[in-house]
Structure 1
């Protein structure tokens, strides 16, 4: 189970963007992160330290040996958690629900941005997927489904050869599985 400090740390809007940037680009200099995210270096440095305290990022060696700049890398890839993990104490449950709401808002906003860009020639070759289904499952079977999806995504990520010369864009995948009614 994740610590509530990890969940709340990564679900701040700028910290989530920093986390995603490091997922995509790997070890990076703080000024490069700030420039890419159109943010102030001081603000990005502050949020990197917050992520560091939560164990999400870590300081990295400066590959140039200069040591005058701050370099950062992910300390872990991916988070998997449920609001139900934080039923007690009530303060943690409140924080977990707010982190969940923030995460869902971010997911929907990204999906809406994609739909607004669909006519853009830069993304025209990408056909966004939409996968959904309804089935019967016990709580254990639903956890098993989640574990399998995460394993499949990680296997797929590791199978991509970023050095093969193909042009790529960042893609975002999200899925929710939950009890429902027809």
Structure 2
């Protein structure tokens, strides 16, 4: 792993990670750790060849790298993320029309991806939802803040999210499922 936070400022890298299969592969590599094309294909339902293609594209963009120390033989290729956190700002692409278009498209795809996770939960059968009577939540607030204050608020939220995402999972025999959470703060009016 190189650093803790990878700020994407190249529109080609942003475009490479925007593909839905690639985003899913990045998510799996973050959540489950390093994997091979075969193991990732099992988790995604994609063909191994298709997963290999997307892994190569992610590697070419510098978002993942090989983990040769995990291979049991020369044919086995393991992959890991180069950074646990990826971020970008649309303002980094403001002086480049093509980059700005990519950033806008990626933002739209990202919002669809995030709300898709929530919609899939809402569509689960009642029996599945009853297995989680306390945890699933929705929270919203209206704030009166400056841009700097919103940035401070975002940093505090991200800190709490990262604390839980990066914690050592207790080895206490309890079954823990994966849970997706996201937060957004944008200027708007009721």
Asked if TM exceeds 0.5, the reply is yes
Q: 1:143 aligns with which of 120, 135, 151?
A: 151
- Aligned-residue offset at 1:165: 2.0
Partner residue in 2 for 1:176: 184
Partner residue in 2 for 1:94: 101
- Aligned-residue offset at 1:122: 7.8
Task: In structure 1, list runs of 5 or more residues that go unmatched.
Answer: none
Distance in 2, matches of 1:50 and 1:57, equals 9
Runs of at least 4 residues of structure 1 off by over 6 A?
Answer: none
Distance in 1, matches of 2:130 and 2:63, equals 31
> 8 Å contact 1:117–1:123 — kept in the other structure?
no
How many positions carry a matched residue from both structures? 182
Output the aligned Cα RMSD: 1.9
Partner residue in 2 for 1:115: 122
> 8 Å contact 1:62–1:69 — kept in the other structure?
no
> 8 Å contact 1:8–1:95 — kept in the other structure?
yes
Q: 2:175 aligns with which of 146, 149, 167?
A: 167
Equivalent position SS for 1:15: helix
Whether 1:134 and 2:119 are equivalent positions in the alignment is no
> 8 Å contact 2:71–2:77 — kept in the other structure?
no
Task: In structure 2, list runs of 5 or more residues that go unmatched.
Answer: 1-6
Structure 1 35/164 Cα, relative in aligned 2: closer, same or farther at 3 Å? Answer: same
CA distances 1:94-122 after superposition (whole Å, capped 9, x unpaired): 00000011111111111110001152438
Compare relative contact order (CA 8 Å, sep 6+) and give the higher one, 1 or 2: 2
Partner residue in 2 for 1:2: 8
CA distances 1:15-62 after superposition (whole Å, capped 9, x unpaired): 011011111110112101012111111111111111112221111125
Partner residue in 2 for 1:36: 43
After the TM superposition, which of the residue ranges 116-125 and 134-143 deviates more from structure 2?
116-125
Structure 1 120/22 Cα, relative in aligned 2: closer, same or farther at 3 Å? Answer: farther
Equivalent position SS for 2:95: coil
Equivalent position SS for 1:121: helix
Structure 1 75/120 Cα, relative in aligned 2: closer, same or farther at 3 Å? Answer: farther
Equivalent position SS for 1:79: strand
